[in-house]
Structure 1
Amino acid sequence: MPKRGRGVYAISVAAEMVSMEIQNLRVYERRGLLQPDRTAGGTRLYSADDIETLHRIRDLLAEGLNLAGIARVLSLEDEIARLRRRLAE
């Protein structure tokens, strides 16, 4: 089983896993919603964490949020997780 943060899935596989078009994944990357790993040749590799983020993006889109709103929600969720980890220390 690969590490959650290590990119192992090609863009076509990642798109199929989350039922999205490949072009959408490229747009989400350009908008800063996720940052897949890259091979030396520039090929995108998506991790299990990236797949989870793509599922979250899909859910937020279904709720009617635009990409700017999704970026804000993801940022706030990351901050909450960071603060919870800090409190647990």
Structure 2
Amino acid sequence: MADAHSSETDPRRQRAVYVISVAAELAGVHPQTLRIYERKGLVEPARTVGGSRRYSDDDIHLLQRIQTLTDEGLNLAGVKRVLELEGRIADLEARLAQARHEASAAVDATHRTYRRDLVPMRQAMVRYGETASVLRHLLEQ
């Protein structure tokens, strides 16, 4: 499951370096609890070639978030749903930010086209009383 709080810009946070006992201690839970979380689909630790679990800093933050939610009274099914919704919200916020950026760029591009259509003031002005001669000049062209 993707962590809604992961930092995609910092690969060090995603590097799986902690063995299960260290991860459990950092998260404040028993190692068996981490195995239960994995079975329930709440966390997916990396695996070594030999099959040992390895947890990253992002995994530790996710485990701490799970602990917070269970401490608040949610069961594991509720925790899973909250994490899914938090992930969806993060995705929608990112998509909204991208859409806002694209809309702003489109508005800026449109405004730049307006500036090219502007006529310098001295070419657009006609002094009072010269209207007829200006119109005659334009019609002759």
**TM-score when scaled to structure 1?**
0.95
**TM-score when scaled to structure 2?**
0.61
Gaps of 5+ in 2: 1-9, 99-141
Gaps of 5+ in 1: none
Q: Which has the higher helix share?
A: 2
- Matched residue, 1:53: 62
Aligned length in residues:
89
| Cα gap change, 1:22 to 1:81, in 2 (>3 Å) | same
1:19-68 residue CA offsets vs partner (Å, 9 max, x unmatched): 10000000000100010100010010001111011001100111000000
Q: Which has the higher contact order (CA 8 A, sep 6+)?
A: 1
- Matched residue, 2:82: 73
Q: Helix, strand or coil for the counterpart of 1:3?
A: helix
Q: Which has the higher strand share?
A: 1
- Matched residue, 2:117: none
Offset at residue 2 of structure 1 (A): 6.4
